[in-house]
Structure 1
Amino acid sequence: MKALAQTSVFASVLASVLSMAEAKTALAAGVDIIDLKNPATGALGALPLSDIAAIVRMIGGRRPVSATIGDLPMQAGLICEAVERTAAAGVDFIKIGLFDNGDARDCLNALRPLARCGQLVAVLFADRDLDWDLIDYAAASGFAGVMLDTADKSSGGLRSHLSALALGEFVRNARAHGMFIGLAGKLQLADIPFLLPLAPDYLGFRGALCAGFERAAAIDENAIRDVLLAAGRSKADAPSECAAHSHRVCAG
């Protein structure tokens, strides 16, 4: 995902999909990153490993693929096992939610060996008690990226929880550590002009890509193209197969 880093006023677009059919739609529409998760089972609900592996095979390196490990408690052994299983499915990036239901710092430390052979992404939640020091801990543990999201999709979008000043500080802090940065959390088209000047590497979407803007509905190719246009992207801008494969998570 470092190959996707931006410095001007556009951002890569991450589309969260929950099925093979949606992955094909996102690929055809030209999204930059295809993210695999099940919104019915949580903010970072995980898809079955067999589904993840099948979608990775279908994508065939044409786009980077990320996947979540589920809304898991912060127990180091549990988190490490989930990361190893997800890595074995062949994804490029693994998103790990740093929830406030355990020892996130202990989990980050335990993930150091896995971070050495892959692209781990720490996810912090804007609608929870934020521990900004976790950015430092994630960087020290070898995480490649960090993102902000929201845990409760009924509690409002990202910008209803954090000011532009706070979001900008998040981006600057992560950038200082050399990590790539993602912003997500019930983002809509209207949020994009406010977030682009902060220079995140990517913006993550689900509901804005769906029919009727309902995150439980199927994603819609026209809605995806509207988001790509607003983010300053086009189908021609999507990463090449070479760039998509430039960083790959290993399962060792």
Structure 2
Amino acid sequence: MPFGALDLLAPDLPRLIAHRGLSATAPENTLAAVRAAHAAGISWVELDVQLLGDGTPVIWHDRDVKRCSNGRGRLAEMTVAEARRLDAGGWFAPGYAGEGMAGLEEMLALLVEREMGVNLELKVNRGHDPERLAEAAVPAVMAALPPHRCLLSSFDARALARCRALAGPERLALGALFKRLPGDWAAQARAVKAWSVHADWRRLDEARARAVKAAGHALVCYTANDPSAFAPRWAWGVDAVISDDPRVFDGVDGSR
């Protein structure tokens, strides 16, 4: 995939990426979900990283653990010992009971073992420090994965700026995440030397999509699960789609 005019090492981003692992068939953001993606022949996953109260980076989306575990409480108030006691799989299906919350280190080890790539979103929930999160995530990712197999993204401009400062201009691809692209999306992307721009596929219009491509960025859409509804957007220049189940896109209108 071309990376335009940006002076970065381009990731080998595939057309289809599994959202929080293969979250259609396994509990999201777990080691099991990444193993399921690999077993399904999916080479890249999208995952969320944030910090526990003791500074440990973990793979988790929500501000608290209520939705995706058998526990209660906010991540910002938890220690790693407390987080390890949670069952992060039984809520999804009985066969996943006992699946634990994954730490960033063990998740990276699995990605290395399976030779997979990752779009790692720095998830800055309310009350969390974006710079501290970047400082925990960037060195670990850069030490574990080659540049062509990693992409760090965030909605938070401060997190992205700290990532860029830590990584330098040529070592790590960053993605600027938006829901609907704002009027100043290009300035925000330039400020952090973003390789890619990410948008909610339902809120993306053709003019903005083509503008992203004209500016030299890769264009990533999330989270699409209806290949027929999404199909026209391939012609707008979309490079990759994040989906709960990328298999539904196989062979459908530009997905391959």
Provide the TM-score with structure 2 as the length reference.
0.59
Q: Secondary structure at the match of 2:241?
A: strand
Gaps of 5+ in 1: 6-10, 151-157, 210-223, 235-252
Question: Radius of gyration: which is bigger?
Answer: 2
Instruction: Determine the structure 1 residue equivalent to 2:6.
Output: none
Identity over aligned pairs, percent: 14
1:113-152 CA distances to partner (integer Å, 9 max, x unpaired)? 404463332232124856311122232xxx4x223234xx
Q: Whose RCO is larger (CA < 8 A, sep 6+)?
A: 1
Asked if the contact 1:105–1:137 (Cα under 8 Å) also holds between the matched residues in 2, the reply is no
The Cα shift of 1:47 comes to: 5.1
Summarize the alignment of residues 160-179 of structure 1 with structure 2, pairs less than 5 Å apart: 161-173=203-215, 175=216, 179=217
Partner of 1:138: 192
Aligned to 2:248: 226
Matching residue of 1:155: none
Please say which of residues 129-138 and 105-114 is displaced more in the overlay: 105-114
What is the match of residue 25 of structure 1?
36
**Equivalent residue letter for 2:154:** G
Structure 2 letter corresponding to 1:202: A
The answer as to 2:164 corresponding to 1:114 is no
Distance across 2 between alignment mates of 1:66 and 1:81 = 16
Provide the C-alpha distance between the structure 1 equivalents of 2:61 and 2:132, rounded to a whole number of angstroms: 25
Q: Which has the higher helix share?
A: 1
What amino acid does structure 2 have at the position aligned with 1:165? A
TM-score by length of 1: 0.59
Shift of 1:86: 3.8
User: The residue matched to 2:220 in structure 1 has which SS?
Assistant: strand
Matched, 1:203 2:241: yes
Q: In the aligned structure 2, how far is the partner of 1:202 from the partner of 1:113?
A: 26
How many matched pairs?
189
Tell me the amino acid that sits aligned with residue 95 of structure 1. Answer: L
1:179-202 C-alpha deviation (Å, 9 max, x unpaired): 433222445323431211022221
What's the CA shift string for 1:8-41, capped at 9, x where partnerless?
Answer: xxx7111121223322322232324222335642
Letter in 2 for 1:65: V
Other-structure match for 2:120? 67
Specify the alignment match of 2:62 in structure 1. Answer: 41
Q: CA RMSD in A?
A: 3.5
Letter in 1 for 2:142: A
Q: For 1:134, what is the secondary structure of its paired residue?
A: helix
Change (3 A) 1:57 1:168: same
What displacement does 1:4 show?
4.0
In 2, are the aligned partners of 1:15 and 1:26 still within 8 Å (CA)? yes
CA–CA distance in 2 between the matches of 1:29 and 1:231? 20
Q: CA deviation at 1:50?
A: 3.3
Question: How far is 1:80 from its partner?
Answer: 3.4
Counterpart in the other structure of 1:219: none
Paired letter, 1:170: V
CA distance in 2, matches of 1:185, 1:170: 18
Question: SS of the residue aligned with 2:174?
Answer: strand
State the alpha-carbon separation in 1 of the partners of residues 234 and 159 from structure 2.
33
Structure 1 stretch displaced more, 196-205 or 22-31: 22-31
Match of 2:15 in 1: 12
1:190 counterpart residue number: 228
Unaligned runs of 5+ in 2: 2-9, 22-28, 49-58, 64-74, 76-100
Amino acid at match of 2:110: I
**Following superposition of structure 1 onto structure 2, how do residues 52-91 of structure 1 map, counting pairs within 5 Å?**
52-59=107-114, 61=115, 63-71=116-124, 75-90=130-145
* CA separation of 1:71 and 1:231: change in aligned 2, threshold 3 A: farther
